């Protein structure tokens, strides 16, 4: 499996970039389609390592035309990583209709269509791997995350059913559920609640983007060929005591 086509959504995030690096090391001859929303420059240095082996696709999944264009470019994908998501945190009465719509449209609708698009070619090849980046929020209730947590709950249930539906065709579908990872939105929380966040983890440190990337690469490797339909937490013991 040296000449895979690997697609990664949300690839310009810290976690996304770390995943790109890990998978490039695992599959150095693969062709990469790297999706981002608005920061293609963040991927330019990473893509430069691939020479002719990759492309950056900037697409807003809230835009139907942009999403449709992106789908056309991933129809022959062998490995798909779904890391794109919209996160809006607020108590439910404070979430406006637009914020709710965006989370549902990107985290559920676009995610579903992306998975639907890659399945036919995987079925034809009798092999394929999908890794979906969920969140500990799907299984641990947190204030201010009602809709976001709901979309990740959908992702995990969807993953189990898709694995059951196509496992017999050689397609594996798994989820990763990160907890307190020192990246993205958590960095803002650390500015004023660092000690509280650190105390929520059983281990004496927070997670890193590389921690998530290592697990992603493992699930995409030949070492994980009997893991299917699972959600694997990577949270340092964040669930402890709950």
pLDDT band at 201 (very low <50, low <70, confident <90, very high): low
| CATH superfamily of domain region 5-234 | NAD(P)-binding Rossmann-like Domain (3.40.50.720)
The 3-state secondary structure of the chain, one letter per residue: CCCCEEEEECCCCHHHHHHHHHHHHHCCCCEEEEEECCCCHHHHHHHHCCCCCEEEEECCCCCHHHHHHHHHCCCCCCEEEECCCCCCCCCHHHCCHHHHHHHHHHHHHHHHHHHHHHHHHHHHHCCEEEEEECCHHHCCCCCCCHHHHHHHHHHHHHHHHHHHHHHHHCEEEEEEEECCECCCHHHHHHHHHHHHHHHCCCCCCCECHHHHHHHHHHHHCHHHCCCCCCEEEECCCCCCCC
Q: Average pLDDT of 213-221? A: 97
pLDDT reading at 68 higher than 60:
yes
pLDDT reading at 186 higher than 70:
no
Residue ranges per structural domain of the chain: 5-234
Convert the pLDDT of each residue in 71-100 to its tens digit: 999 999 999 999 999 988 889 999 999 999
The residues that are catalytic are 148
């Amino acid at each position: 499996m040296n000449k895979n086509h690997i697609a990664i959504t949300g690839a310009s995030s810290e976690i996304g970039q770390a995943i790109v690096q890990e998978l490039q090391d695992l599959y150095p001859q693969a062709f990469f389609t790297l999706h981002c929303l608005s920061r293609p420059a963040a991927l330019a240095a990473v893509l430069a390592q691939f020479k002719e082996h990759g492309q950056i696709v900037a697409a807003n999944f809230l835009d139907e035309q942009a999403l449709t264009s992106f789908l056309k470019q991933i129809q022959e994908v062998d490995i798909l990583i779904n890391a794109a998501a919209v996160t809006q945190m607020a108590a439910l009465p404070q979430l406006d209709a637009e914020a709710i719509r965006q989370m549902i449209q990107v985290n559920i609708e676009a995610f579903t269509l992306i998975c639907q698009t890659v399945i036919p070619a995987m079925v034809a090849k009798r092999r394929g791997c999908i890794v979906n980046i969920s969140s500990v929020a799907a299984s641990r209730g947190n204030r201010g995350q009602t809709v976001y947590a709901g979309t990740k709950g959908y992702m995990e249930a969807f993953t189990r059913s898709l694995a059951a539906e196509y496992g017999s065709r050689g397609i594996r579908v798994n989820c990763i559920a990160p907890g307190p990872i020192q990246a993205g939105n958590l960095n803002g929380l650390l500015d004023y609640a660092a000690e509280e966040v650190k105390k929520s983890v059983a281990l004496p440190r927070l997670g890193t983007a590389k921690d998530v990337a290592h697990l992603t690469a493992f699930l995409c490797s030949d070492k994980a060929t009997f893991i299917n339909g699972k959600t694997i937490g990577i949270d340092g013991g964040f669930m402890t005591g709950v």
